[in-house]
Amino acid sequence: MMVRRWTRTSKLFTGGTGVVALLLASVPLVFSPDIVQKTTTLLILVLLAAMWNALAGYGGLLSVGQQAFIGLGAYGTVFFAGFGMPPYIAMVVALVVAGSLSIPISLFALRLRAAQFAIGMWVIAEVASIAVRLDQDLGAGTGISLSQLYQYDPNYRQAYTFWLALAFTAVFLAALFFLLRSPLGASLQAIRDDEDAARSLGVRVTARKRLLFVLAGFGCAAAGVLIVANTLFIEPSSVFSVQWSAYMIFMVLVGGLGTFEGPILGAILLFAIQTTFTQGGPWYLVGLGATAALFALLLPRGLWGTIEERLGLRLLPVGYQVVEKK
């Protein structure tokens, strides 16, 4: 018997992601701004799915309030750009400030269990949303646009935003990938599989969960920054909407909770559904909700988890495999 991480497929695929990233980077040079904007949306979905999965899939923390960080990242950008900061600098500052808020929040949120954590985070998002609504300078309830971005030519603006989205997504996915592969990652996967057993083996469960919570806080803030850069206009009722949590839950559950590749697959699926049913509408949401519930009940490992189990396929190696020695 021997333990291995890499297989031929996973070596090929991990090398392949570099090529995919390069190909993606050239999207704004080749395609029309419309496609660039759509691809930006896809990258935001991938980022959101990966971050929600980091929380729920590895930390066992089911949050229905990650829109708090999305909204704070988006409104933070408008806020700092309003001080005369160049808009792209304001985005980075907003990301850092909104993401950092996850540290004080984690001090008490991580003491809550299951539903208390889920709804506690939701209430935090509601409080953040009300705080924005009370601020006339941020457009109160009617929304505000990131007018400072209008100074750029639309084609360039779209391209810059896309590259920023690609950079953020790559950085956060890579951070999660290396985190899961590090010795810390082994303890995270142990928590995912059995929290009590992990604790009894000496894993510092709360410290590990805090790491994931802060990572997800920064990641969702980054998504919020990208949302305002991509759409140029935000309002509290949409950017702080619990609908973001619904999307994240759908992507992760369908893709595969607690797998690295699954949420990416889920994001691509959601993106495909959204582009097909451009009208949106209630039936589409009925379908999303029902699918998420059915996956939770009937196929809890999601599409990718099931594929992985059946075929023994590993594309991005974050775990170990035991194989017969030849």
Partner 1 sequence: MSVANAILQGIFLGAFYAVLACGLSLMFGVMRIINLAHGDVAVLGAYLVLVIVQGTGLSPLLAFVIALPAMIALGYVLQLTVLQRALKAGILTPLLATFGLSIVIQNLLLLKFSPDVHSLGASAGALTTESWNLFGSITISALGLVVLAVAGVVFTALHLFLSRTRPGWRMRATAEDPDAAELIGIDSRHVYARATAIAVAIAGLGGLFLAIRSVFDPVSGPTQLIFAFEAVVIGGMGSLWGTLLGGLALGVAQTLGAQLNPEYAALSGHLLFLAVLILRFGGVRLVRFGARA
Q: Which residues bind partner 1 (CB under 8 A)?
A: 56, 60, 62, 64, 107-108, 111-116, 118-120, 122-124, 126-127, 130, 133-134, 242, 245-246, 249, 253, 282-283, 285-286, 288-294, 296-297, 300
Tokens of 49: 């799915």
What secondary structure does DSSP assign to 243-289, as a single string? HHHHHHHHHHHHH-TT-SSHHHHHHHHHHHHHHHSTT-HHHHHHHHH
The least distance separating partner 1 from the CB of residue 306, rounded to whole angstroms, comes to 15
The least distance separating partner 1 from the CB of residue 289, rounded to whole angstroms, comes to 3
Residue 37 or 100: which CB sits closer to partner 1? 100
The least distance separating partner 1 from the CB of residue 321, rounded to whole angstroms, comes to 25
CA–CA dist 320, 246 (Å, integer): 32
Q: Who contacts 296 (Cβ-Cβ below 8 Å, separation ≥6)?
A: 253
CA–CA dist 101, 276 (Å, integer): 37
The least distance separating partner 1 from the CB of residue 88, rounded to whole angstroms, comes to 33
- Are residues 227 and 270 in contact, defined by beta-carbon separation less than 8 angstroms? no
Residue 57 or 217: which CB sits closer to partner 1? 57
The least distance separating partner 1 from the CB of residue 112, rounded to whole angstroms, comes to 6
The least distance separating partner 1 from the CB of residue 73, rounded to whole angstroms, comes to 21
Determine whether 72 is exposed, middle or buried from the number of CB atoms within 10 Å of its CB (0-12, 13-18, 19+).
Answer: buried
Q: Who contacts 302 (Cβ-Cβ below 8 Å, separation ≥6)?
A: 252, 253, 254, 255, 256, 257, 259, 262, 266, 295
CA–CA dist 24, 46 (Å, integer): 14
Which residues pair with residue 322 across a beta bridge?
Answer: 3
Residue 132 or 223: which CB sits closer to partner 1? 132
Residue 11 or 113: which CB sits closer to partner 1? 113
Residue 170 or 249: which CB sits closer to partner 1? 249
CA–CA dist 248, 47 (Å, integer): 10
Q: What is the CA radius of gyration of the chain?
A: 20
Residue 58 or 80: which CB sits closer to partner 1? 58
Q: DSSP class of residue 150?
A: G
Tokens of 189: 């996967």
What is residue 145's three-state secondary structure? strand
Residue 45 or 64: which CB sits closer to partner 1? 64
The least distance separating partner 1 from the CB of residue 253, rounded to whole angstroms, comes to 6
Can you say how many angstroms the Cα of residue 89 is from the centroid of all Cα atoms in its chain? 21
Residue 75 or 88: which CB sits closer to partner 1? 75
Tokens of 84: 């005369």
The least distance separating partner 1 from the CB of residue 311, rounded to whole angstroms, comes to 24
The least distance separating partner 1 from the CB of residue 60, rounded to whole angstroms, comes to 7
Which residues pair with residue 321 across a beta bridge?
Answer: 4
CA distances from 73 to 79, 95, 107, 141 (A): 10, 6, 20, 17
Residue 55 or 91: which CB sits closer to partner 1? 55
